[in-house]
């Protein structure tokens, strides 16, 4: 769908007036001399972060740069490219979309114009197509008309079902889709030579994860375990700084398991959805955004578990 058409659906009064904001709060975090994370803000999308409220990553090879997730808008993608240019003159030749969430794919068009080839799981592309209109409306409300300027939805050139392996220069890259997690098409990217895992939205650290209507908390746990079986030395999470498997287990797997057992106990006690806020999630209040997400997460898991 053309962006112009989508804009017609948005009441203009909802669009906040924004200035062209400078730098999007992206932090470069080196893991080795060729593998890097780009850590965005933990908060929601905003006019200053241009939709880049997530963690991205890239690998410099002799055949060009592999980028894991292109950012949440055209201008957000430009900001990511500026960070990459701080460490290499190599062009971005390949982009992987690790999922269907806006910050995993709405920067595709920018990098495609630079000549990059785009890869995603077939399930991620189906999710991107299904939620395109919702994502544009929501994103425009949060980053503003100037923030989303130039953003065109472009889908992957190549898709895979469960696994894709390839070499880029001397670097071996393995991409896996193990089932629905935060979104239906979430994938993780494994660099066996460097023991680095880019987890996409399968792992959140420092901030509370979001279980939405596009998520499945049960298979999210299974996808986490499939990813963790590689025992990566370094994790580039979907949200938060570069981390360890132990930390990811605590903030993501631990929280998902806690939430599911707390909701199961609540249902066993005959609890009603309207009273779901009475579930005590205080042991996870150290995670950022917990006050906006904790109740919603419990509600979503409740509706999921009614059907399990």
Residue nearest Zn ion, CB atom distance: 201
DSSP state of 102: G
Binding site for Zn ion (CB under 5 A): 54, 101, 201, 238
Rank residues 51 and 147 by Cβ distance to Zn ion and give the closer one. 51
Smallest gap, in angstroms, from Cβ of residue 55 to Zn ion? 9
Smallest gap, in angstroms, from Cβ of residue 201 to Zn ion? 4
Phi, psi (rounded to 5 degrees) for 91: -75, 155
Rank residues 60 and 205 by Cβ distance to Zn ion and give the closer one. 205
Rank residues 86 and 213 by Cβ distance to Zn ion and give the closer one. 213
Q: Sheet containing 92-97: which strands, arranged edge to edge?
A: 27-30, 35-39, 55-61, 64-68, 92-97, 117-121, 158-160
Q: How far apart are CA 302 and CA 291, in angstroms?
A: 18
Smallest gap, in angstroms, from Cβ of residue 208 to Zn ion? 12
Interior/surface letters 192-220, b for 16+ CB within 10 angstroms, e for the rest? eebebbbbbbbbbbbbbbbbeebbbbbbb
3-class state of residue 149 by DSSP: coil
| Count of C-beta atoms within a 10 Å radius of residue 273 | 12
Smallest gap, in angstroms, from Cβ of residue 259 to Zn ion? 18
Q: How far apart are the first and last CA of the chain?
A: 35
Rank residues 98 and 171 by Cβ distance to Zn ion and give the closer one. 98
Q: How far apart are CA 236 and CA 58, in angstroms?
A: 10
Smallest gap, in angstroms, from Cβ of residue 131 to Zn ion? 13
Smallest gap, in angstroms, from Cβ of residue 150 to Zn ion? 22
Rank residues 47 and 238 by Cβ distance to Zn ion and give the closer one. 238
Rank residues 136 and 266 by Cβ distance to Zn ion and give the closer one. 136
Strands (E), the chain: 27-30, 35-39, 55-61, 64-68, 92-97, 117-121, 158-160, 163-168, 171-176, 188-191, 196-204, 234-239
């Amino acid at each position: 769908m053309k962006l112009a058409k989508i804009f017609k659906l948005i009441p203009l009064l909802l669009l906040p007036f924004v200035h062209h904001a400078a730098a999007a709060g992206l932090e470069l975090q080196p893991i080795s001399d060729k593998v890097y994370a780009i850590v965005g803000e933990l908060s929601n999308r905003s006019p200053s972060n241009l939709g880049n409220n997530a963690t991205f990553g890239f690998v410099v090879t002799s055949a060009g740069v592999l980028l894991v997730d292109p950012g949440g808008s055209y201008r957000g993608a430009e900001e990511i490219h500026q960070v990459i240019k701080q460490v290499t003159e190599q062009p971005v030749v390949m982009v992987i979309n690790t999922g269907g969430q806006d910050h995993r794919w709405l920067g595709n068009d920018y990098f495609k114009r630079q000549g990059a080839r785009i890869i995603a799981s077939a399930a991620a592309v189906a999710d991107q197509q299904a939620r395109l209109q919702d994502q544009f409306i929501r994103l425009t409300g949060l980053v503003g008309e100037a923030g989303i300027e130039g953003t065109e939805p472009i889908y992957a050139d190549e898709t895979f079902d469960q696994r894709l392996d390839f070499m880029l220069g001397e670097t071996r890259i393995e991409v896996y889709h193990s089932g629905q997690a935060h979104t239906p098409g979430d994938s993780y990217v494994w660099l066996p030579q460097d023991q680095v895992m880019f987890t996409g939205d399968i792992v959140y650290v420092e901030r509370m994860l979001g279980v939405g209507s596009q998520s499945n908390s049960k298979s999210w746990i299974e996808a986490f375990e499939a990813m963790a079986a590689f025992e990566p030395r370094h994790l580039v999470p979907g949200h938060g700084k570069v981390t360890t498997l132990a930390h990811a287990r605590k903030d993501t797997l631990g929280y998902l398991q806690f939430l599911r057992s707390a909701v199961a106990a609540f249902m066993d006690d005959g609890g009603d959805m309207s009273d779901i806020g009475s579930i005590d999630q205080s042991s996870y209040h150290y995670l950022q955004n917990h006050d906006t997400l904790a109740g919603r997460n419990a509600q979503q898991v409740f509706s999921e578990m009614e059907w399990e």
